[in-house]
Structure 1
Amino acid sequence: MSLKHQTTCRMREWRDERRAREADRAGGTRPRRIRKKAGQIPEEIGPPNGFTLLPWLLMGMGAFSHLLQGKTSNPWIAGAGLLAFNSLYIAVVFRAFDKKLRTAPATLWSLGALAALTIALAAGYGGSWLTFFPLLGLATGAVVRGRVLGPIGLGLSTLAGVIGGLKEGWGAANIAYGTFLSVMVTAAILSLAETVRELRAAREELARSAVEKERLRFSRDLHDLLGHTLSVIVVKAEATRRLAPRDLDAALGQVADIESVGRQALTEIREAVTGYREGSLATELDRARDLLDAAGIEAVVRQSGPPLDPQSAALLGWVVRESATNVVRHSGAGRCEIEVTGTAERTRLTITDDGRGTGEDTPGSGLTGLTERLATAGGSLTSGPGPRAGFRVTAELPVTETDRIPA
């Protein structure tokens, strides 16, 4: 999937979520496509439920017909048994489609009672009453899961075959087969349906997580981009105001710089929106030097060590941009040193100023976001008072194996 397609999908998800929130606040109905994605409208057919297994009760119509025709001895006992069987069957199959209810003791006790009643009716009356064994198999397959399913299904089928053989002879052998098939097929189908629901829920959770990550990336990029850019524009505007009365050409140069910075900011914001933007350490060092010089702060930049991979250079470029902006806005410094050193194992960026010793290190600030970014890449970022005075920011990143391969 291309990056452009991913961006389009993310923007569509943001739009759908916004419309859903607006509909919820207004008390209206969500659009059909959003309700479908949220599971409020089934994609094709709804998930199976207790009603799915109710039509199989028609298998007991033979026993009910014999009861009405008076072909069953002790009709009152048989009628009570039939009513109890149907009640227990309905209760068990409806509880089977809720995971918590399915494993509850009440459900297991009801299934046990259903099994005892089935055995009693089949052994007492035989004939069409033997068809209750496959119904018991359906209820068992709906409730039982795991390794015990096979032994239980086999034992239940054997019991059905023995009782059927004693009551009806070899002609009732198909009851055993039907019982085993009911247990295993029902359990397989319902397990598959549960797996599909879990996978669908996991997919929705991953989509929500991806949207949240993209929102976080976008907010960080905007903070870093606009904070730096607006600081540069403010500094350039102040310089223009100071120079205009005595040096018009220099003031016009500052105005041209403001125009250039504004155009560059527009480009970077567009790139941030589409996810294409990758910073450059060298570019950010040049911009930081220009920003500090325009603010009247002496800038000293030193760089040594092996070349960096694009990802590491981009991360350190963000640190340079944020730190230089903080120096101009908060420190009141007269000198700022930016040093990049690299070894075979790690690359370190240190930014030190001689200002008031205050920096943007509060929770939720730009440096906090940069700390999270570097931690994701296996690096670290620390900030605090400098060794003598002022403020220091130190960022470290590990050198990957590919970086050690000579070009």
Structure 2
Amino acid sequence: MTGVRGVEVYTRSTLYVVCLLEPFLLLVAAAGMAEDPPAPLVAGALLVLAVLHTALSIATLHLGMAPPPERGRPFRVTVALLGGVAAAFVVLALAAVPSLPPPYDGFWYTEDPRSVVLLTVGMFTLGALTPVLRSRPLVVGSLAVAALTALGRVLAGTPGAVGIAVLTLFITAGSAFSFRLSVWILEVVRELEAARDATARLAVAEERLRIARDVHDVVGRALATVAVKSELAAELARRGDARAVDEILAVRALAQESSREVRGVVAGYRSVDLATELAGARAVLTAAGIAVRVLGTVPPLDPPRQEALAWVVREAVTNVVRHSAAGECVLRLEQADGATVLTVGNDGVRAGTPGPAGPGGNGLAGLRERLAAVGGGITTRYDGDRFVLVARVPAVVVPDRPGVPGPEPHPKERA
């Protein structure tokens, strides 16, 4: 599992497992109360609050790590419940959990259960709120937890309040900022993914604008000429001049020519070149955050076959950007069995996402028609999460024309 989804699963699972450590830390406090156990009612309340606090911490993290627009009312309700349970835990710890004075026979955390309970509850409460808290609130929260542990010492008449407060501050702040760092990394990865999608959409939009400008130039000029010639033909017709027929025929010829030009613009027939398309593919894929390798060189094919392969590159790369979560795309040109073979392979196939490879895809059907017109063909296959498109055209070369090199390989590709 790669990309933002992989980072999210790893971050969530790690933080959930850390939250599940809370009951084990509270067992340390329970061990410290073994010689002087609290009343059964108090012990039962502590057990219930421990289970609730752990569950609410995980739920708060789960809802809080969702993008802000998706949190909504359930997140606010969960935060309120977490705060209520934490407050009840603190009150019960201050009222009913003992804090034994030193000297200790063993370690302080086995003989000072009240401080352990206050530290644990404060630490995991702050950790659960890290998706919505920044540095300053986390520091303030850590200071508050340290002050509560010191207060517990003071209320019990136990010395060492300052020492336990400092220790609690370091532990709580370290834990909270560890949580925050994990959440921050997830947020950065999400922003990078959003930027990648925006870049891909921008590349597609720029291509559409280019086509729109070309169509505007062709149609605008043609329509202006048609308007002038039609007005002239109308005026000649009013005068009974036979030249009106010639002008109308000229308008018809102009309309037919403009129609051919528009089809040429939309279909990309203007200077479609395989080497140019490969260079453009590298630029678009790199801008979309996809690692790209272009292997092989452009052979000296005649224009129709080169144009057909150029269209394969354009259509395939467009659909890699729009219909996959690809991390890598490889384009390979080679000669095999008297044919020129273009292979385009990418990972990150999204299950159930329609694309040119899907049943009845118009993009793939169009490519088949183009390649069939020059005696070629196209095949596709899935290899795990990879999609591979193979286009083949007969290697009919142009005499006395040297091979056209493809885009200069990236230094990593040379290795």
Give the TM-score band, short-chain normalised: 0.3 to 0.5
Larger Rg: 1
Give TM-score scaled by structure 1 length. Answer: 0.43
Relative contact order, higher structure (CA 8 A, sep 6+): 2
Give TM-score scaled by structure 2 length. Answer: 0.42
